[in-house]
Amino acid sequence: MHLLERQTQLDELARCFQEARKGCGKLVLICAEAGLGKSSLVERFVSEHRRDARTLWGACDALSTPRALAPVHEIAAQTAQFGSQLTRDSESGERLFGILLEELARPERVSLVVLEDLHWADAATLDFVRFIGRRIQRTSALFIATYREDELSPNHPLRLALGELTGHHVIRMRLAPLSLAAVELLSRDSGRDAAVLHRITGGNPFFVREALASPGELVPPSVRDAVVSRLLRCSPEARELAELVAISPGRTEGWLIESVLGARQPAVDEAGARGLLEVQTASIGFRHELARRAVLEAIQPERVRALHAQVLPILAQHGTDPARLTHHASLARLGDAVLEYAPLAAREAARLGAHREAAANLGSALQYASSAPTPLRADLLERHARESSLANQTREAIASATAALALWRQAGDVEAQARMLSMLSQEYRSVGEKANADECVAAAIRILEALPRGSALAMAYSWRSLLALNRGWDREALEFGQRALALAREIGDRAAESHALCNIGGALLGTGDRTGYEPLERSLALALENRLEDDAARAYRTLAFYAALIHDFARARQAFQEGVEYCEERGIFSHSAYIRAYYTACELDRGEWTHAARMASELLRSSEFTGVQQRVTLLATLATVRLRRGDPGAGELLDEALQLALPTSELNRIGRVAAARAEQAWCAGRFADVTRESALGLEHVRGHTAPWINGELLYWQSRVQPVGPIPADVAEPYRLMLTGDWRSAASAWEGIGMPYHQALALSEGPAVALLAALAILDRLEAGPLASIVRQRLRRLGVRGVPRGPRAATRGNPAGLTAREVQVLTLLVSGHTNSALAERMHVSAKTVEHHVSSILEKLDVHTRTEAVAAAFGLGIVKSGSPASAATSPEPR
């Protein structure tokens, strides 16, 4: 079948290929619903450029639980010089990624890499795509990845990965259905009514092909009917072959078919000739996953189970990987086999950083473990709890750890009980259940102090230190941290030593003592040296949090960049989720409000961000941007944040939310509420050393009433504001890099300072405070007070500036970023900022969605010249 209406995409791929030949690698993400021809497009492009490039091909399979890094190993095995090393060296995903990147960077010949069906990818494979996506521009490679957008739920892990792949080296393509004209061309010799065919198939090329291949004049009501109709026209031997191939996602090896069915060459030839199966030298598969599923659904369930049971022992004899064996064992409902293979698959997935898949495999094993010996069930539950925790599936971790605790009690394993109690204390803390967290860690310490002193006790002390640290109880955090550190060094436990140093560093930084960086950096170094991945991730997370808390933005940015990369290359999403949340607060303080709000909005919609601390931080960030810009919805967000924060008793969370609520009340003129909200935060700070939170709360309280003696531990910029030294305070805030706070300080000065404040506030689009400053200027008799940018936004419901409306109109007209930059006489970076702001204000993810929103809100009128063009693919 001809490849119609795809020349634009082929031309763009060719352009990217030429860039890669020059050493400027590209990542192209091709998305479309099933059947629109992603594979056909890529196959055509590869066939046209195969002679000019080394082609490496991998695909994700629709296994019940994906095998960790399967497509990456498939790609690696095809490399000429490093192939044997890559398949043999499986120490970690990090090592594998590094060797592959080195291979792709070789300048002698461009590499053309294809990775199909990312919607089925395991977590470690998504980490690989992130890893390559951040570095592809430094290689001589064109990396093409395909995925189905109709397979992505709102919380699908691929959505988060795609959101992180940005930059000029990342190209996004979305395939559209065929037009009526294309369907007419395809069906002109069939005698079919092209208009009816187009309407029923929706222009889906695969559906059109299946419909044209089915007998009769009528169009089949579904692709399933078309495929099954073709299947029924085959001989019994060919149907039996198709059924066997249908139970395995991807392709089925020739040796497996022969082992199950014997020699079936006539059946193979028949199925290939009828277009039902695609026959290659060593394997057979369906031409499209939709066809495989259609055949699979047509087989009786008992027959499906029997086929899975039939292939399982044959695959096991051939040394097939445990993930594939688990898939067949699960679908055959062979409990003993699942119990044998699933834990092995989980261990391999965990080693490669695919913690979600590890948890899923252990979950499969647990379904058949009810009759297993108690120690085995307890061990499976403990492993499931640990992998769920690393995958940021906190509630699942709590359920499994609780069940494991009960079984270890039955088994009489006291140390294992303490281990589970320590784990539970941290999981309960993550969901804000303070009392349970305290009870569990205290119970763990009681148990362990009655036993010989060892690693478990050192870790329990460190967990107790961490709980205190999270609440701002710095003295207790230091006390138990030092106990843990001393014992860890006494017994030579590097993991406990790293854990304790991390807490000690955090406790010192929380009090404003920057010497805390030294133990934190030592904690990180120890973890990295000893390959303690969870401890290294926690050190990055702690660095990110405290650097953000004390407004050390350079350190925070470094911890964010290095920490997120480290965590996500290893599938440690629990820690990377926290680091991302903390970074939104940094962007807020730095005045990067559009980026902060957009990032917070996306993360709040993601299933990765379920922890209470994460949500409180994200809600506070998004609410603060909205209240400072005068946008609706801030109050509801802050209500939710306070409801989540209060049960934790953590002063950092409660104090931050209380300060935001006090600020909102002050901007709205609700001065009694300012007093109440700031008092709420100060009540939790009382008795603790928290320079920045204490200072912020006292500052808002001072706006409506005297605050009395200023505590000695208040951070210097706030102390200057509280003593009325607005000039020094403004200078201090400017030095730190916090423009809104600089404007707050300037707003306390004379007219010239007020005008300087107004300029900052207008740039930030901080409408409420800018309005207050304008009123003060007018009361002082200042003439010609600038009206500001917000006046121009009142004519459209999304609050877009006139410049943003211009950009949006040009987007509707089909302009790319570079074309927009040339048309508007600005840089591409400026255009990127405008587009990002538009997406955030319209609360959408892509340019296509922005264009649809523009018409829906009436910002761009239907029928206008702009609306006649097709929107470009999002970049």
pLDDT in tens, 79-95: 855 555 544 445 566 67
pLDDT tens digit string along 802-849? 677 778 877 766 667 777 777 776 776 677 778 877 877 776 666 766
Residue 682: C-alpha distances to residues 651, 654, 677 (Å) = 9, 9, 9
476-514 burial, b for 16+ CB within 10 Å, e for fewer?
bbbbbbbbbbebbeeeebbbbbbbbbbbbbbbbbbbbee
More confident residue, 274 or 519: 519
What DSSP state is assigned to residue 563? H
**Nearest one of 2, 31, 27, 32 to 13, comparing CA atoms:** 27
pLDDT > 60? residue 377:
yes
Comparing 9-13, 342-346, 351-355, 525-529, the range with the smallest average pLDDT is 351-355
CATH code of the domain in which 114 resides = 3.40.50.300
Domain end call among 176, 193, 210: 176
pLDDT of residue 862: 44
pLDDT of residue 378: 97
Determine, yes or no, domain membership for 315: no
Comparing 4-13, 580-589, 685-694, 853-862, the range with the smallest average pLDDT is 853-862
690 and 827 share a domain?
Answer: no
pLDDT of residue 871: 32
Of the pLDDT bands very low, low, confident and very high (cuts 50, 70, 90), residue 231 is: confident
788 and 809 share a domain?
Answer: no
707 and 820 share a domain?
Answer: no
Across the range 641-664, mean pLDDT stands at 92
Of the pLDDT bands very low, low, confident and very high (cuts 50, 70, 90), residue 301 is: very high
781 and 694 share a domain?
Answer: yes
Beta carbons of 122 and 357 less than 8 angstroms apart: yes
Q: Identify the H or E element spanning 777.
A: helix 767-779
Determine, yes or no, domain membership for 481: no
pLDDT > 80? residue 874:
no
Q: Nearest 5°: phi and psi at 361?
A: -65, -40
More confident residue, 709 or 838: 709
pLDDT of residue 100: 86
| Separation between Cα atoms, residue 602 and residue 166, nearest integer Å | 15
Across the range 619-646, mean pLDDT stands at 94
pLDDT > 60? residue 865:
no
701 and 837 share a domain?
Answer: no
**Nearest one of 133, 130, 138, 99 to 564, comparing CA atoms:** 130
End-to-end distance of the chain based on CA atoms, in angstroms? Answer: 30
The separation between CA 768 and the C-alpha centre of its own chain, rounded to angstroms, equals 33
Domain end call among 130, 152, 176: 176
| Separation between Cα atoms, residue 753 and residue 271, nearest integer Å | 81
Q: Give residue for tokens 């999981």.
A: 427
pLDDT > 70? residue 114:
yes
Comparing 114-118, 271-275, 423-427, 693-697, the range with the smallest average pLDDT is 271-275
For the chain, give the mean pLDDT.
87
**Nearest one of 213, 688, 640, 245 to 432, comparing CA atoms:** 640
What DSSP state is assigned to residue 623? H
**Nearest one of 841, 851, 843, 844 to 873, comparing CA atoms:** 851
137 and 15 share a domain?
Answer: yes
Of the pLDDT bands very low, low, confident and very high (cuts 50, 70, 90), residue 209 is: confident
> 3-state DSSP helix/strand/coil percent for the chain, to nearest 5?
70, 5, 25
pLDDT of residue 417: 94
Beta carbons of 416 and 445 less than 8 angstroms apart: no
Determine, yes or no, domain membership for 347: no
pLDDT > 70? residue 789:
no
Determine, yes or no, domain membership for 690: yes
| Separation between Cα atoms, residue 539 and residue 563, nearest integer Å | 9
Determine, yes or no, domain membership for 753: yes
pLDDT of residue 89: 44
pLDDT of residue 608: 59
**Nearest one of 793, 774, 781, 571 to 122, comparing CA atoms:** 571
810 and 788 share a domain?
Answer: no
Determine, yes or no, domain membership for 822: yes
Across the range 474-501, mean pLDDT stands at 95
DSSP assignment string, 397-429: HHHHHHHHHHHHHHHT-HHHHHHHHHHHHHHHH
Query: What total of structural domains would you count in the chain?
Result: 3
823 and 739 share a domain?
Answer: no
DSSP assignment string, 813-854: TT--HHHHHHHHTS-HHHHHHHHHHHHHHHT-SSHHHHHHHH
173-187, 215-229, 569-583, 739-753, range with greatest mean pLDDT: 739-753
Compute how many other C-beta atoms are within 10 angstroms of the C-beta atom of residue 687: 11
pLDDT > 50? residue 864:
no
Of the pLDDT bands very low, low, confident and very high (cuts 50, 70, 90), residue 731 is: very high
pLDDT of residue 812: 67
3-state secondary structure of 56: strand
Comparing 415-419, 653-657, 861-865, 866-870, the range with the smallest average pLDDT is 866-870
Of the pLDDT bands very low, low, confident and very high (cuts 50, 70, 90), residue 796 is: low
| Separation between Cα atoms, residue 606 and residue 596, nearest integer Å | 16
pLDDT of residue 210: 77
| Separation between Cα atoms, residue 861 and residue 863, nearest integer Å | 6
Across the range 360-389, mean pLDDT stands at 95
More confident residue, 331 or 814: 331
**Nearest one of 243, 204, 210 to 224, comparing CA atoms:** 210
pLDDT of residue 28: 95
Beta 141-148 vs 111-116: how paired, if at all?
Answer: parallel
Determine, yes or no, domain membership for 849: yes
* Identity of residue 440: C
DSSP assignment string, 145-194: EEEEGGG--TT-HHHHHHHH--STTEEEEEPPPPPHHHHHHHHTTTT--H
Q: How many CA atoms lie within 13 A of 660 on its CB side?
A: 30
Do you know the residue count of the chain? 875
pLDDT tens digit string along 394-412? 899 999 999 999 999 999 9
856 and 772 share a domain?
Answer: no
Residues contacting 545, CB < 8 A, separation 6+: 506, 578, 582
| Separation between Cα atoms, residue 826 and residue 819, nearest integer Å | 10
| Separation between Cα atoms, residue 41 and residue 676, nearest integer Å | 62
3-class SS string, 89-158: CCCCHHHHHHHHHHHHCCCCCCEEEEEECHHHCCHHHHHHHHHHHHHHHHCCEEEEEEEEHHHCCCCCHH
pLDDT of residue 852: 63
pLDDT > 70? residue 703:
yes
82 and 18 share a domain?
Answer: yes
Domain end call among 176, 207, 222: 176
Could you list the residue range(s) of the whole structural domain that residue 824 is in?
Answer: 795-868
65 and 143 share a domain?
Answer: yes
In this structure, what token pair is assigned to residue 252? 């089925």
| Separation between Cα atoms, residue 470 and residue 463, nearest integer Å | 11
Beta 283-286 vs 277-279: how paired, if at all?
Answer: antiparallel
CATH code of the domain in which 863 resides = 1.10.10.10
172 and 31 share a domain?
Answer: yes
In this structure, what token pair is assigned to residue 460? 């329990």
Of the pLDDT bands very low, low, confident and very high (cuts 50, 70, 90), residue 539 is: very high
Across the range 426-448, mean pLDDT stands at 90
Beta 283-286 vs 252-253: how paired, if at all?
Answer: antiparallel
More confident residue, 77 or 701: 701
pLDDT of residue 279: 87
pLDDT of residue 585: 94
Determine, yes or no, domain membership for 72: yes
